[in-house]
Amino acid sequence: MSHANAALTPVQRARIGRMVVDDGWSIAEAARYFRVSWPTAAKWVQRYLEMGRVGMDDRSSRPHRSPNKTAQPLVRKIVHKRIKTRRGPVEIASLTGVPASTVYAVLKRCRLNRLSHVDVATGEPARRYEHDHPGSLIHVDVKKLGNIPDGGGWRTVGRQQGWRNRAGTPGKDRSKHRGVLMRHAYVHTVIDDHSRVAYAEIHNDETAATAIGVLVRAVAWFAARGVHVEAVLSDNGSCYRSNAWRDTCRDLGIKHRRTRPYRPQTNGKIERFHRTLADGWAYSKHYNSEKARRAALPAWLHFYNHHRQHSAIGKVPPITRLNNLPGHYN
């Protein structure tokens, strides 16, 4: 792209070429007219003769050869130590005998300059994927949360008051652990892989029957928004390994996929959504009761889908990727 003070833009370069080649101007006359040097005008005239309008665009300044570029065997050695040991540029420099700045340049060129780009478990570069249209794949999972006692939980009122609130909340179960054990809330979540549009329901269990009900309603919810679900990805939880779940997926015409055991990264989009869910809704403020927190979920989901900018899809709300929504086009 031409800089702001460039004398000639691609359009003006083409004008020089046409004036000299097509209209018969001399190069000197064209140079004076556009207030550029004779060699500059001659360069663009020559490119116009050779390539036409296409030759007027800027070219890359990258050299054809780089004699001082780091040798490929050394690059492989640096990358190997980064992947296998997760060392930083200074440590790798001491092991390979090259400057740390060179090591960093190699890592940046190979997109390994940030440790977040390297998988913690295997050391391999993180493999990211995204399906090309809504409904091609949805992710499902369950987020388990402790119910909030009447008066508020320990995160906002402190541990002592939190335990007193738990003890005074009706419907608790007795246990040897500090005298009380409150039940849990199970947030069944569904995420569309392409758009990141989310659907969620709160239940008191994570049984197969509950998970199946959530799937059926989620598929209908997406269908009402013009999205046909083709496949679903889940972990290896018992509710997703049941025959009833398998039969439901078959009846809905959905292909069921499961993640590899002990590899939650495969289902990373919904795992990351759970963190956003916890920060933005579950633990975002003081709730006086579990009922109040559950009542706040629909409003937060609307904010997430329709208003919150999502950095992974270009800082736009997820709903904008559902291009076939009724009324989306004017």
Residue pLDDT, tens place only, 291-321: 899 999 999 999 999 999 888 888 889 999 8
Q: Which tokens sit at 55?
A: 């030759």
Average pLDDT of the chain is: 84
The pLDDT of residue 132 is above 90: no
Residues in the chain: 330
Whole-number pLDDT of residue 323 = 63
Strands 173-174 and 231-234 come out as unpaired
Residue 121's pLDDT band (boundaries 50, 70, 90)? low
- Name the least confident of 1-5, 72-76, 190-194, 299-303: 1-5
Whole-number pLDDT of residue 175 = 45
* 310 backbone dihedrals φ, ψ, rounded to 5°: -105, 115
Neighbours of 132 (CB within 10 A): 7
Strands 184-192 and 180-181 come out as unpaired
Rounded CA gap, 34 and 269, in Å? Answer: 55
Q: In the chain, pLDDT over 70 holds for what percent of residues? A: 87
Q: Which tokens sit at 145?
A: 């949360």
The pLDDT of residue 155 is above 80: no
Q: Please state, in angstroms and as integers, the Cα–Cα distance from residue 76 to each residue in 37, 66, 71, 73, following that order.
A: 47, 18, 9, 5
Q: Which residues of 73-92 are buried (b: 16+ CB within 10 A; e: fewer)?
A: eebebbbebbbeeebebeeb
- Residue matched to tokens 């004036």: 19
Q: Across residues 195-201, what is the average pLDDT?
A: 94
Q: Which tokens sit at 175?
A: 């246990």
Q: Please state, in angstroms and as integers, the Cα–Cα distance from residue 51 to each residue in 2, 36, 183, following that order.
A: 19, 21, 74
Q: In the chain, pLDDT over 90 holds for what percent of residues? A: 41
Q: Which tokens sit at 236?
A: 């290896």
Residue 201's pLDDT band (boundaries 50, 70, 90)? very high
The pLDDT of residue 106 is above 80: yes
Higher pLDDT, 142 or 161: 142
169: exposed, middle or buried (Cβ count in 10 Å: 0-12, 13-18, 19+): middle
Whole-number pLDDT of residue 181 = 47
Higher pLDDT, 179 or 85: 85
Q: What angle do CA 296, 302, 305 make, to 5 degrees?
A: 135
The pLDDT of residue 20 is above 80: yes
Q: Could you write out the three-class secondary structure of the chain?
A: CCCCCCCCCHHHHHHHHHHHHHCCCCHHHHHHHHCCCHHHHHHHHHHHHHHHHHHHCCCCCCCCCCCCCCCHHHHHHHHHHHHHHCCCHHHHHHHHCCCHHHHHHHHHHCCCCCHHHECCCCCCECCCCCCCCCCCCEEEEEEEEECCCCCCCHHHHCHHHHHHHHHHCCCCEECCCCCEECCEEEEEEEEECCCCCEEEEEECCCCHHHHHHHHHHHHHHHHCCCCCCCEEEECCCHHHCCHHHHHHHHHHCCEEEECCCCCHHHHHHHHHHHHHHHHHHHCCCCCCCHHHHHHHHHHHHHHHHHCCCEHHHCCECHHHHCCCCCCCCC
Residue 65's pLDDT band (boundaries 50, 70, 90)? confident
Rounded CA gap, 300 and 85, in Å? Answer: 41
Whole-number pLDDT of residue 119 = 63
Whole-number pLDDT of residue 179 = 43
Neighbours of 117 (CB within 10 A): 14
Whole-number pLDDT of residue 171 = 61
Tell me the sheet residues that pair with 192. Answer: 138
Q: Across residues 72-85, what is the average pLDDT?
A: 88
- Name the least confident of 149-163, 183-197, 204-218, 278-292: 149-163
The pLDDT of residue 182 is above 80: no
- Name the least confident of 2-16, 109-123, 250-264: 109-123
Rounded CA gap, 98 and 91, in Å? Answer: 11
